[in-house]
Amino acid sequence: MRGEVRERIREIIIQTCQELGVHIETGVLSTDHVHMFISVPPQIALSKVMMRIKGRSSYKIQREFPELRKRYWGQRFWARGFFSTTSGNVTDAVILQYLELHSKREPTGVSR
């Protein structure tokens, strides 16, 4: 993800999270994956949040950037599944530190 595609994915993720009432604490858009530290309302399943983010962003990106539709024809834009953990197992500070270190490796990676 680079340039206009990267910026548009960022916008779609932010918009989708706002619609769902999900608060993005911070995030990093890397060239081939996304890290997000989010706060999800208890009445919404995280799997539903991720399904909406990945589904909507894939649909819109492939519509708005036809060259990507050709590239990913018959394939998924995003990998199947996702990783999540709660901040009860590790502190918020540890998560934020990880994202900060990750964004330094991806100089244009900080998305928020």
Contact of 62 with 69, CB cutoff 8 Å: yes
Domain layout of the chain by residue ranges? 3-105
Q: What is the DSSP letter of 108?
A: T
pLDDT above 70 coverage of the chain, percent? 86
The per-residue pLDDT for range 29-66, each reduced to its tens digit, is 988 889 999 999 999 999 999 999 999 999 999 889 98
Q: Could you read off the pLDDT of 62-72 as tens digits, one per residue?
A: 889 988 877 76
Any idea which fold 3-105 has? Alpha-Beta Plaits (3.30.70)
| Distance from chain centroid for Cα 18 | 13
* pLDDT reading at 108 higher than 60: no
pTM of the predicted model, to two decimals? 0.76
Rounded to whole angstroms, how far apart are CA atoms 41 and 90? Answer: 19
